Structures are given as structure tokens and as C-alpha cells.
Amino acid sequence: MIGHTVEGIVGPILPGGEAAVNVNGTTVLVANAVPGDLLAVHISAKRRGVFRGEIVEVIEPSKTRIEPPCPVGNACGGCALQSISGQAQSELKSGWVKAAFEPLVDAGTEWMPVQFHADHCRRRVRWFVGSDRKGLFLGFYAQASHQPVRHRECMVLTPELNALRTLIEKNVSLNGIGSVQAVHLSDGVHVILETECKPTAEMEATNIESMPLQWWWRDSNGITRPMQKPVENFHDLLPAGDCDVALTVGPDGFVQGQMEGNRELIAQIQQWAGKVRRIADLFCGIGNLSLPLAAATGAEVIGAELNAASVRAATANAKAIGITSTFAVANLFEVFDLEPYIGADLLILDPPRRGAKRICSQMSRLLPDKIIMISCDAAAGSRDGALLKEHGYRLKALRALDLFPGAGHVEAMSLWQRS
């Protein structure tokens, strides 16, 4: 089939954003497709035993198909769901989470679907350097390609990041630069030029939309160095009960991709947690989830993370806001010392996409009163949840949270309590 153009009817959109197209009994996964579409599809590859294709023509559109609001929405690979409405995206993503966790839900489980917010934008971005007859530019890869797509403005980014891209294209030589990353924080923007050699241009502390910029360059070994001194420290303002706390975020620190969504996530954790005295935070990052809760409750935090830079940042953030804490470097996917984390009032788990299988399988030793788990892959979260259920925990609440409008990703927040 590879290399051929075929016709097929679109079935369901699957987690990740690709839709299953039925072609004479064979499934082909296609982005930007809508259930009920009749499509002409070019079969381009077969990966992991499944055919992949691109839309050649929408022969007969579904009644629910809309014109993508982004002018390059059908070409850009950044957003696979722009051909359905924002409300339809929320319902779809809610369905993914609910279906994954269905075997673990009981009559007492509180269910909270995605709440659609049209004005929430992403504050983290990675642009790739492309070239066309107009010259070098910053863009996102086209679907199933390493060729960037030129665009005037990205509708899912903050206005500050769109202004930054324009500033870079006008004022920075992109020769030799592979990509540019940026993270928009509460009081400034980190800008990281990814290139083999240090860029020759000296960056000034330019502002965009009244936001200061700190310029960095990152080499092929992943080492990030400042391009200007003194270095500006930027912060995330996060809810801590009735007030906010400021956590310092460096250029290598992980933050959730959406500022408003991150605050929603943290506020939900605090509501579910209630009064706690001792918090275990595994996959702690810079303390994004546990430190605001500790600031609101006066709790102690014991955390662990593989990334040493994140552990240093979490330790410094805890000290800056007056939290009693201990953060350690540990590979949480391998054997590590469980002793410091046993018997916490609350265990927070925020693992990467592969989940927290090893930790969940040892929950009868850790024995926290409550567990709050954030799963960026609902299937992995459900698998981990099944282990928690085996160890005597029940699913009290489940929430779907969309931090990537337009893309095929959704967060599953789950609250577990010992039976």
C-alpha cells in the first residue's frame, strides 16, 4: 500500500490526535482527519505495524469538520485537531481519559471533564530553522516531515512568544542555528539558541511586550550557557492557598506548557490534598506541584528526581520561600531508597509519559494516606492506577485537563485514597 493513494472513511480520533481511516478493512492513521470524512489518503509509511498517511483531498467532509482557524493548520504538524471545534476537542479528550480509567471508576468516583478555555495559550515553544525563497525563518515541522512550515502567527502561543519569533527573524542571524526554544514566565522569557558553536551576535536585554529576555545558547552536548550577563532570573507565580508564591525557573527547568492550566492543576492538587503535614513528591522537578501546597499548609516536603539541575532548583526554591524540605537525585525507574518517602500524608506522582509502574508496584511499602497522580499518557496512568487499586487504594476523583489545545494530548489527574 505504501506509495499509493486510496479512499477511506474516517473512524475515531485516537489519543495523540491521529484518526483511524478504514481502507478496505485496513486501518491507516491520519492527522487532521474528522470522524465521518471521506478522504483520499496517500499512504506514506508503516511504523510499528500500522500504516500512516496524509490527506490528499477531503472528498466529502464530515458534518462536524470546520475550517482550521490557522492558515497553515493543514500543513503544520503542531496541531492535529484544528479541524474540529474547541468544544469538540474538550469532549474528545475527556472521552480519552474517561475510557482509559473506566475499569477503575466506582460509584463514588468524582468525574471532572475538560473545561474549554478559548483564551488559554501555550507558553513553551521550540521553533526549527527552515529555508525558502524568502530566506531563513522559524517554524514548526510539517506533518510527518522535518521541513519547517513558515507562518505569520501561531494561534496557540502567547502573544509574547509570537512577538519574540518576529524579533528573532528580523534581528538574529539564523545561519548555523538548528532550533530556538523559549519559555514565557511570569516576569520574563528565556530564549535558547540551539547550535553547535556559540552564536557570534551579542544579544541585548531586549524587551517584548514589556517582558525582559534572557538569551542563552545550548550546544550539541545539551550544555546551556548565558549569552548575556548579569543573568536575569525569571519566576513562575503559583497559587498557594489565598496568595501566590514565586518559584525561580531556569532555562533547563521543566514547566507545564500552559501558564493558566498549570495554575489550575496546582489549585486542584491543593483542593484534593486538604491539610497535610508531610508531602512526598516523586518526579518533583523544580517543586512546581509540592512547594505551593507546602507554602499553603506549612507542610514538609521530601522529593526526588533524576535530573540533578532540577533537584538543585527545587532545593533553592524551597529555601527561598521558607519550606522545610529535602530533595534528592534518584532514578525512580530503578531501585532507589524508599525509606524517606514512607508514610507521607500525601504522595504526589508526576511521571513522564512512561508512567510510574515501579513506584506504584511498591505502594504497600510506601503507604501514603493519599496519592495524587498526574499522567500525561492516560493509558499509562490507568495501568499505574490498576496497581494502586491492587494495593488497597480507590479512585476518589478523576479530572481531565487540557494543557495543549489543538494538539492530541491531555493530562489525567487522579486522586487515590486508602480503602
Residues annotated in a binding site: 256, 283, 305, 350
CA distances to 19, 77, 92, 379 from 30, in Å: 5, 11, 16, 20
Closest CA to 23 of 41, 36, 49: 41
Ranges of H-type helices in 299-368? 308-320, 357-360, 363-366
Q: Which positions ≥6 away from 311 have C-beta within 8 Å?
A: 284, 303, 304, 305, 327, 328, 329
411-418/370-375 β-pairing: antiparallel
Helix, strand, coil abundance in the chain, percent, nearest 5:
20, 35, 40
Active site residue 376: yes
- Matching residue, cell 542571524: 173
Rounded CA separation 374/107 (Å): 22
Amino acid (one-letter) located at 140? F
From the candidates 76, 284, 360, 376, which is the catalytic residue? 376
**Please, what sign has the CA dihedral across residues 350, 354, 358, 362?**
positive
Residues annotated in a binding site for S-adenosyl-L-methionine: 256, 283, 305, 350
**Please, what sign has the CA dihedral across residues 153, 159, 163, 169?**
negative
Rounded CA separation 38/56 (Å): 11
Q: Is 54 in contact with 42 (CB distance < 8 Å)?
A: yes
N- to C-terminal Cα separation, the chain: 52
Active-site residues, by number, are 376
